[in-house]
């Protein structure tokens, strides 16, 4: 697979806006014991298509949803080695946030874990989507159009860092990504672009400080 080169800026993040100024403070995560990767169920779309009795679109949705899950799991299985990786379906959001992990965590094959690891709250939660960007005077501070990417959260879903791609870079990323790790639906707003290798690299180089971050494709 051709490696995608990124530049990443790990900067920590609590924005305290006074006029146009902001203060930045470090966020520390002391050696996470695992990461929990969220897989989407697409329940709202699924239920909407089921109510409309649109069986062909419902099947297409399920196929694309399963493909997104597959490539995301492939990416983390092959490229993330820093600590153990477990998965969960987003319909279990409330349980994960409440640290109720029993019967919720899955292995890479989608099977419930037979033995629950002793994680307490020493883990990071990885989601895929658009990050919450800091704002100054009600506007996103960099004024650019941000695409989706990996979002790194603490055990309570508080965003700590994010890797995003620029929307105008999507075609370049698509050409340079292996179909084993990349998928974008032609029908639905569903996709996954690989980021596990970069996350592993950043955590391995600095496992203590995981600041609020910004990632862009190198030109």
Bridge partners of residue 216, in order along the sequence: 7
Instruction: Using the predicted structure, report yes or no on whether residue 196 has a pLDDT greater than 70.
Output: yes
Bridge partners of residue 162, in order along the sequence: 151
Strand order in the sheet with 85-89: 85-89, 34-39, 123-129, 146-153, 159-166
**Tens digit of each residue's pLDDT (9 = 90 or more) over 85-138:** 999 999 999 999 999 999 999 999 999 998 888 888 889 999 999 888 766 565
Mean pLDDT of 168-174: 60
**pLDDT the model gives residue 187:** 96
Distance CA 36, CA 92 (A): 12
Q: Strand, helix or coil at 92?
A: helix
Among 152-156, 171-175, 187-191, the minimum mean pLDDT is found in 171-175
Q: Which of 167, 142, 164 is nearest to 6 (CA)?
A: 164
- Is 97 in contact with 157 (CB distance < 8 Å)? yes
Where are the domains positioned within the chain?
A: 6-217
What is the model's pTM?
A: 0.78
User: What beta strand segments (E) does 154-207 contain?
Assistant: 159-166, 183-184, 191-192
Which residues neighbour 18 within 8 Å (Cβ) at sequence distance 6 or greater?
A: none
């Amino acid at each position: 697979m051709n490696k995608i080169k990124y530049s990443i800026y790990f900067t920590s993040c609590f924005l305290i806006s006074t006029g146009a100024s902001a203060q930045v403070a470090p966020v520390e995560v002391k050696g996470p014991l695992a990461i929990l990767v969220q897989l989407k169920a697409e329940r709202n779309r699924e239920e909407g298509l089921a109510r409309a009795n649109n069986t062909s679109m419902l099947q297409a949705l399920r196929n694309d949803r399963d493909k997104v899950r597959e490539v995301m799991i492939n990416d983390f299985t092959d490229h993330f080695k820093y600590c153990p990786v477990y998965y969960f379906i987003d319909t279990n959001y409330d349980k994960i946030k409440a640290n109720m992990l029993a019967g919720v965590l899955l292995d890479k094959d989608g099977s419930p874990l037979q033995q629950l690891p002793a994680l307490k709250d020493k883990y990071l939660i990885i989601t895929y989507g658009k990050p919450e960007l800091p704002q100054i005077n009600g506007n996103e501070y960099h004024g650019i159009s941000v695409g989706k990417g990996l979002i790194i959260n603490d055990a309570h879903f508080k965003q700590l860092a994010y890797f995003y791609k620029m929307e105008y870079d999507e075609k370049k990323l698509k050409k340079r990504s292996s179909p084993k790790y990349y998928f974008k639906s032609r029908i639905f707003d569903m996709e996954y672009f690989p980021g596990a290798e970069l996350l592993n690299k950043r955590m391995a180089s600095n496992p203590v400080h995981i600041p609020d971050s910004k990632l862009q494709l190198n030109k």
